[in-house]
Amino acid sequence: MKRRVIKSLIALFLIMNILFVFFQNQKTYGYDTHLNVYEKIKTNIPIRYLVIGDSIGRGSGAETPKERWFVRLENMMKQKENIKISGDYIVQSGATAFEGLYNFSHSNIKELPDLVFLVFGENDRKYMSADDFGEIYEALVRMVKTRFPETEIFTITESSLTFKDFADQIKKISSHYGTAHLDMRPVFTQSGLSTKQLTKDFIHPNGTGYQLYANEIYSQLLRHTIEDKVIASLSTPLYRQKDLNLIKENKPSHLHGFSHSSLGFFGEIKGSYIEYDFTGTILGGIFLRTPEGGKLDVFIDGDYLTTIDTWWPFSKVRYLYIGNDLQDGLHKVRFETNGTKSLMNNTSNADVYIFGIITNK
């Protein structure tokens, strides 16, 4: 009896050792989730990426889906390196880094990305100052770093960005956080092709332009692999508002002329307004932008700040940046319809739909 027990224990011990060696070998050949993107490239392991960006981030302007920059990159990695790469996307035409920050903070990424591409700047310069952009862009970099500490971040300066102060913010933040920075402006200039030849509308690259994007990302990935680039750890913050944890407030404190509907709070008559109380230092709004969208004026603590246009060629809920660097303490924001509409709105309506505000406290 004792001999049978001893034999069973020995057999169990041998099986456990065999399983241990097997799984150790499995890790050696690429099943270690702690391998970074460059180590995976060296060993031909599949790669996951995430794009957080605007219309260029989503490849708008390409003549066909196959000519978008990330599809071209996937094909190059497969054909030249025998590595499969595939992605997830938090992208929206017209998006700013503020919208990207909010959407990313509320996203559910099921698979850990090895690469995150940040593609912003061209839209941001329409809505905010370069310093405001810098604070929000840094907050986005920090959130990605905090959530995915072993992931490489590619910060891309878009080929169409002509505002130097915005491009300088991307460069400064990229350098500070040790990201893989890619400036597409000199790449387009040095290509020998005109802007007309490289873009659909002088802003969005066409298939030829996106091929340049893919080429540069591919080259930089291989160069960093050869150099054994280290994934940088989270650095000390550059800006005061280092971490912007954005929250939604959908309950107004007062409204006049606005009515509640399944599409949020609706207003159309000039002078209608809706107010929210908040204590954050940054403010955004959640609007339904539509082909019949109108304009509304924004007042914070009684002072006019800006006018928001809710027109869009198709209906889409958008998270729009309004203001930054507010003082700590209680604030009141009023959204008031002004009865006007965009020149692009060829309907007789100037409708406004609002779901709530976004702030950081």
CB neighbourhood size of 195 (10 A): 15
Site of tokens 């319809």: 337
CA–CA separation, 133 vs 98, rounded Å? 8
- One digit per residue, the tens of pLDDT, for the chain of length 361 reads 545 545 554 555 555 554 444 444 443 333 345 799 999 999 999 999 999 999 999 999 999 999 999 999 999 999 999 999 999 999 999 999 999 999 999 999 989 999 999 999 999 999 999 999 999 999 999 999 999 999 999 999 999 999 999 999 999 999 999 999 999 999 999 999 999 999 999 999 999 999 999 999 999 999 999 999 999 999 999 997 668 889 999 999 999 999 998 889 999 999 999 999 999 999 999 999 999 999 999 999 999 999 999 999 999 999 999 998 899 899 999 999 999 999 999 999 999 999 999 999 7
The pair of structure tokens assigned to 75 is 């094909």
Contact 305, 241 (CB under 8 A): no
CA–CA separation, 337 vs 350, rounded Å? 9
> What's the pLDDT at 8?
57
For the chain, residues classed under CATH 2.60.120.260 are: 247-359
Select from 124, 118, 183 the least CA-distant residue to 154.
118
> What's the pLDDT at 17?
52
The pair of structure tokens assigned to 284 is 């955004």
Contact 322, 243 (CB under 8 A): no
Strand arrangement, sheet containing 180-183: 85-91, 47-53, 115-119, 152-157, 180-183
CATH fold of the domain at 32-226? Rossmann fold (3.40.50)
DSSP state of 150: T
CA–CA separation, 357 vs 353, rounded Å? 12
Give this prediction's pTM.
0.88
Residue type, 79: Q
Contact 147, 234 (CB under 8 A): no
For the chain, residues classed under CATH 3.40.50.1110 are: 32-226
Q: How long is the chain?
A: 361
**CA-angle at 349, arms to 303 and 98, nearest 5°:** 50
Q: Are strands 115-119 and 47-53 parallel, antiparallel or unpaired?
A: parallel
Handedness of CA 25, 28, 30, 33 (dihedral sign): positive
> What's the pLDDT at 29?
35
Asked if the 247-359 domain carries CATH number 2.120.10.30, the reply is: no
> What's the pLDDT at 328?
87
Give Cα 10 to chain centroid, integer Å: 55
- Is residue 190 classed as helix, strand or coil in its secondary structure? helix
Site of tokens 């209906």: 315
DSSP 56-83: TTTTTT-SSGGGSHHHHHHHHHHHHH--
Q: Are strands 303-309 and 294-300 parallel, antiparallel or unpaired?
A: antiparallel
Q: What's the start-to-end Cα distance of the chain, in Å?
A: 70
CA–CA separation, 76 vs 215, rounded Å? 8
CB neighbourhood size of 146 (10 A): 10
Q: Where are the alpha helices (DSSP H) in 91-181?
A: 97-105, 130-147, 164-177
Select from 232, 243, 284, 235 the least CA-distant residue to 140.
243
> What's the pLDDT at 33?
55
Q: Is 194 left (phi over 0), alpha (psi -120 to 50) or beta?
A: beta
Query: CA–CA distance from 297 to each of 129, 259, 317, 330, 335 (Å)?
Result: 19, 18, 19, 20, 6
